[in-house]
Amino acid sequence: MTDTQVGIIGAGPAGLLLSYLLHLEGIDAVVLETRSREYVEQRVRAGVCEQPTVELLREIGVGARLEEEGMPHHGLSLRFDGEDHRIALTELTGKSITVYGQQEIVKDLIAAHVGKGLPVEFEVSGVALHDLDTERPRVTYTDAGGNARELTCAAIAGCDGFHGVSRPSIPGDALRTYDHQYPYAWLGVLARTPPSHEELIYTRHERGFALHSMRSPEITRLYLQVDPGEPIENWPDDRIWTELRHRLETSSADFVLRDGPVLEKSITPMRSFVVEPMRYGRLFLAGDAAHIVPPTGAKGMNLAVADVRNLARALAPLVRRNDSGLAESYSDTCLRRVWRAEHFSWFMTSMLHRDPAGDEFAERLHLSQLRYVASSTAAATSLAENYVGLPFDW
């Protein structure tokens, strides 16, 4: 049996960032992860960092590589009716976003843990949570060497994603669940080719939504709206590039889509999901374990960062002095931001996607909204303010 102050389930950006924030507060934590270090460092996920996320990583001393390799963006493009409309993020808000892959943040945080000798156990199995409604909850698991282990904590942080063990460890009647399924999915492509545009392009087209993004000066990330049940086998590389050209083209000849070798492709259904509260006893949920947003608003990883910033501040007085004030308000504090992000992500998703049911009334409404955002400084500012990230203390 091992004692620690906080047990953290999951070594994604949420779990690792929480562990490091607690370390800076002088609080001991152990991170448990079922996957290998190599897997979590290579797992490609979101790449848009809001300004508050970037500032936090700089502030705690893990932003050096982000500063060197991250790609700051001061605007984005909304493309519809064959025309391109730039939303000047920095001009409207004084802030920007930075494109820097989630897996790169994970690498930086793991390196920081290794440099400080902070414990992260990879390739564990059989993780189970116990005694959550007591002041000494426990985690049992089997370590990478096959040894049965038990971790006794003052608190447990469930940072293990939507499919992890943390949320299912809470009695079902203790949670309220909100789950909204969208009638479309994204076909995501990672291609070895320089980006075709210096900024992100969000496109609404009669054939469906498309997104042009990037992960580095050499790697482009692209998405197409498809049906949720669409087999990936129906999308050979040539068809993907042809469809991207159809949807991303404009009435001018300024934009030329660069193609290249497809490194990865997958189809991901889209959903909005929230559980309330984000706490049960001494178990605190953070990130995808508590909420999912459709990726259109680029909010998922940034919400997780905001969660664990709040959680680190709540756990410090709880484990030091048994002061539960901030711990008791943790869920309400996080959910205010979560629901704002859920609404913005729903708004962006609805506005930009083609309704597969062919509801022409809805189509007209969404096009009207796009035209308003593209022509109104007030509407564009609202979109920009939400996109670059509201202050953590909002």
Does residue 202 have an active-site annotation? yes
The count of other CB atoms within 10 Å of the CB of residue 385 is: 15
Can you read off the two tokens belonging to residue 241?
Answer: 């590039």
* Pairing relationship of beta strands 6-9 and 155-158 according to DSSP bridges: parallel
Does residue 295 have an active-site annotation? yes
Euclidean distance between CA atoms 120 and 163, whole angstroms: 20
Of residues 100, 202, 223, 280, which has the active-site annotation? 202
Can you read off the two tokens belonging to residue 156?
Answer: 């447990």
Does residue 73 have an active-site annotation? yes
Instruction: Check if the beta carbon of residue 340 is closer than 8 Å to that of residue 285.
Output: no
Euclidean distance between CA atoms 85 and 67, whole angstroms: 28
Of the candidates 346, 341, 271, 268, which has an alpha carbon nearest to the alpha carbon of residue 303?
341
Of residues 212, 299, 353, 366, which has the active-site annotation? 299
Distances (CA, A) of 209 to 81, 201, 244, 347: 12, 11, 10, 14
Of residues 95, 197, 295, 330, which has the active-site annotation? 295
Of residues 20, 23, 52, 73, which has the active-site annotation? 73
Euclidean distance between CA atoms 13 and 295, whole angstroms: 17
The residues annotated as belonging to the active site are 73, 202, 295, 299, 387
